[in-house]
């Protein structure tokens, strides 16, 4: 039996548009199984299917599909839920969704399946936030980092909440039994101060968080012909940027994503820097400089004839063409023979590890930050000399703000904020 508070049935494509072996279309709600059985060639099989079982059937003129049937309340949303798996073409998935809608389902809003799961008590607020992260993460490190950030935030909020609850319990006991010697004022003040400073620390840590948008940027810079495009292609393992012995070959900057030991890296090949009278080349050089300035790591390439390389704000020297002359110091490689490429990879991995550990662990959204500021200020304004009844009320108000951030008594607006960030079908 469904305990769901929702009366309509929603449907959506849960997989991204594009080529894939299989796709998933989801339908959830009180009429999910009835609507499902209207569009398949074996309705009885769907009707009588046990929860968490699969039925292989056909949707006429569309595709043969597998339907996983989950009955309320034993499903992700807590409602009757079917997951239809057709072949991967987006055209097929869309035809199935259209059929479900024609037969009575509504198109789901972004995050609506998770919203239902939350309201029906199937997932908590932390899990809901993690679902969104799991759908968006582009690299292993981004995923792990974001998971830790969410976990850390909730841990710290929970700990502040628990401490406040125990302080409120003390004041309540004072109100109920009048046992004033139960409250040690000095101890009480210290405990309250420790909650306030833990919230302050949380806000500070999140302000320090350096966002890297899920990837690091590495720019290859230097004068013409040192082999920037050759190193770029070697790291990509693909001929993406044009290489030639003519200085000034790269005019624009070229970008590509690579994976460096689980880190997602945007690699940028730039136009060789030199004095030129050509306005197009000059513009290309300027754009390259800007890209390099914003990069996390800027690698300044040299070749044997480039004797006195100029290093700018934090760039790192990388000697190329060691097949022509031998360098004994620093990072060195030959894009032509591949010698030193592995060492460059290892060096990059080390640098990225170090930089990612600098990213603070806590992630607060702007609205969470301002709510926490409000709670902190409320706590700082608490007057311990006041009547216990008023004191309890002041603490309760601050505590209810934390409760809301922890997913208890959430307002409609804050829920919308969380779920609307998710994709459709989640
Ligand atoms: N011997 C040797 N030649 C190399 C090496 N790397 C690149 N070259 C050659 O150096 C020349 C310039 O290479 P590019 O990769 O186009 O150099 P670039 O720095 O991108 O040059 P611009 O785009 O003009 O700024 C080409 O003829 C390459 O084949 C290397 O490791 N060894
Ligand atoms: Mg080039």
Q: Can you point out the beta strands (E) in 25-142?
A: 25-28, 53-59, 63-70, 81-85, 106-107
Mutate to test the pocket of ligand 1, among 229, 230, 336 (most ligand atoms within 8 A of CB): 230
| Closest ligand 1 atom, residue 245 Cα | 27
Write the residue with the smallest CA distance to atom 17 of ligand 1.
227
**CATH 3.30.390.10 at 10-123, yes or no:** no
Write the residue with the smallest CA distance to atom 11 of ligand 1.
245
Vertex 29: Cα angle to 413 and 128 (nearest 5): 40
State the distance from the centre of ligand 1 to the C-alpha of 225, rounded, in angstroms. 5
Integer Cα distance of 81 and 71 in angstroms: 6
Residue 397 in tokens: 């108000």
| Closest ligand 1 atom, residue 222 Cα | 19
What does the pLDDT read at residue 346?
A: 95
Ligand that comes closest to the CA of residue 223 = 1
Q: In what order do the strands lie in the sheet with 216-221?
A: 254-260, 263-269, 216-221, 297-302, 316-319, 331-332
What does the pLDDT read at residue 425?
A: 72
Write the residue with the smallest CA distance to atom 30 of ligand 1.
321
Integer Cα distance of 58 and 332 in angstroms: 60
What does the pLDDT read at residue 385?
A: 86
**CATH 1.10.287.70 at 136-210+363-406, yes or no:** no
Following DSSP, what letter does each residue of 231-259 receive, concatenated?
A: HHHHHHTS--S---SSTT---S-EEEEEE
CB–CB of 265/255 below 8 Å? no
> 273-276 contacts: CB < 8 A, separation 24 or more?
273/221, 273/222, 273/223, 273/224, 274/223, 274/224, 274/247, 274/248, 276/248
Residue 345 in tokens: 């990879």
Write the residue with the smallest CA distance to atom 7 of ligand 1.
227
| Closest ligand 1 atom, residue 250 Cα | 23
What does the pLDDT read at residue 226?
A: 95
Integer Cα distance of 295 and 318 in angstroms: 16
Where does 209-322 have alpha helices with state H? Answer: 228-236, 279-293
State the distance from the centre of ligand 1 to the C-alpha of 340, rounded, in angstroms. 16
State the distance from the centre of ligand 2 to the C-alpha of 342, rounded, in angstroms. 21
Element spanning 39, H or E: helix 32-39
First to last CA, the chain: 23
State the distance from the centre of ligand 1 to the C-alpha of 355, rounded, in angstroms. 30
State the distance from the centre of ligand 2 to the C-alpha of 355, rounded, in angstroms. 28
Mutate to test the pocket of ligand 1, among 219, 225, 236 (most ligand atoms within 8 A of CB): 225
Residues lower than pLDDT 50 in the chain: none
What is the CATH architecture of 216-358?
A: 3-Layer(aba) Sandwich (3.40)
Q: Find, among 82, 12, 92, 4, the residue nearest to 47 by Cα.
A: 82
Integer Cα distance of 32 and 30 in angstroms: 6
SS3 294: coil
Write the residue with the smallest CA distance to atom 1 of ligand 1.
321
Q: Find, among 390, 411, 386, the residue nearest to 400 by Cα.
A: 411
State the distance from the centre of ligand 2 to the C-alpha of 272, rounded, in angstroms. 7
What does the pLDDT read at residue 110?
A: 87
Write the residue with the smallest CA distance to atom 24 of ligand 1.
248
- What are the residues whose beta carbons fall under 8 Å from the beta carbon of 348, sequence distance 6 or more? 218, 260, 265, 297
| Closest ligand 1 atom, residue 333 Cα | 31
Ligand that comes closest to the CA of residue 224 = 1
What does the pLDDT read at residue 347?
A: 96
State the distance from the centre of ligand 1 to the C-alpha of 287, rounded, in angstroms. 20
Region label for 119, one of left (φ > 0), alpha (ψ between -120 and 50) or beta (otherwise): alpha
Integer Cα distance of 200 and 376 in angstroms: 7
The predicted-structure confidence for 1-23, as pLDDT tens digits, reads as follows: 556 678 999 999 999 888 889 99
For tokens 């005019």, what's the residue?
251
Domain range list for the chain: 10-123, 136-210+363-406, 216-358
Q: Give phi and psi for 287, each to the nearest 5.
A: -60, -40
What does the pLDDT read at residue 5?
A: 75
State the distance from the centre of ligand 1 to the C-alpha of 230, rounded, in angstroms. 6
Region label for 338, one of left (φ > 0), alpha (ψ between -120 and 50) or beta (otherwise): left
Residues with CB under 6 A from ligand 1: 224-230, 243-245, 247-250, 271-272, 320-321, 323-324, 334-336
């Amino acid at each position: 039996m469904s305990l769901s508070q929702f009366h309509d049935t929603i449907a959506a494509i849960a997989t991204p548009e594009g080529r894939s072996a299989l796709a998933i279309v989801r339908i959830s709600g009180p009429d999910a199984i009835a609507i499902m059985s209207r569009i398949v060639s074996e309705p009885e099989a769907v009707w009588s299917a046990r929860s968490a079982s699969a039925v292989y059937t056909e949707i006429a003129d569309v595709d043969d599909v597998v339907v996983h049937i989950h009955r309320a309340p034993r499903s992700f949303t807590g409602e009757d839920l079917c997951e239809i798996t057709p072949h991967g073409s987006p055209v097929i998935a869309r035809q199935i969704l259209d059929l479900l809608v024609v037969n009575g389902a509504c198109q789901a809003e972004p995050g609506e399946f998770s919203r239902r799961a939350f309201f029906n008590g199937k997932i908590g607020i932390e899990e809901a936030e993690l679902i969104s992260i799991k759908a968006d993460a582009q690299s292993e490190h981004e995923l792990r980092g974001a998971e830790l950030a969410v976990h850390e935030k909730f841990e710290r909020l929970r700990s502040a909440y628990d401490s406040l609850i125990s302080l409120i319990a003390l004041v309540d006991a004072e109100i109920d039994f009048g046992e004033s010697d139960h409250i040690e004022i000095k101890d009480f003040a210290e405990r309250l101060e420790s909650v306030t400073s833990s919230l302050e620390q949380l806000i500070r840590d999140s302000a320090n968080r350096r966002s890297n948008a899920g990837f690091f940027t590495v720019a290859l810079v230097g004068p013409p012909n040192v082999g920037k495009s050759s190193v770029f292609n070697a790291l990509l393992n693909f001929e993406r940027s044009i290489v030639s012995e003519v200085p000034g070959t790269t005019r624009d900057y070229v970008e590509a994503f690579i994976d460096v030991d689980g880190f997602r890296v945007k690699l940028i090949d730039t136009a060789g820097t030199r004095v030129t009278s050509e306005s197009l080349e000059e513009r290309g050089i300027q754009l390259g400089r800007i890209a390099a300035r914003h990069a996390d790591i800027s690698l300044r390439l040299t070749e044997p004839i480039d004797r006195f390389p100029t290093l700018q704000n934090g760039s790192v020297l990388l000697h190329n063409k060691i097949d022509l002359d031998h360098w004994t110091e620093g990072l060195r490689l030959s894009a032509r023979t591949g010698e030193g490429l592995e060492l460059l990879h290892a060096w990059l991995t080390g640098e990225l590890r170090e930089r990612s550990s600098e990213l603070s662990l806590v992630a607060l959204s702007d609205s969470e930050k301002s709510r926490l500021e409000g709670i902190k200020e409320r706590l700082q304004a608490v007057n311990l000399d006041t009547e216990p009844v008023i004191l309890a009320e002041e603490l309760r108000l601050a505590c209810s703000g934390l409760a809301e951030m922890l997913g208890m008594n959430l307002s409609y607006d804050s829920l919308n904020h969380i779920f609307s960030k998710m994709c459709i079908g989640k």
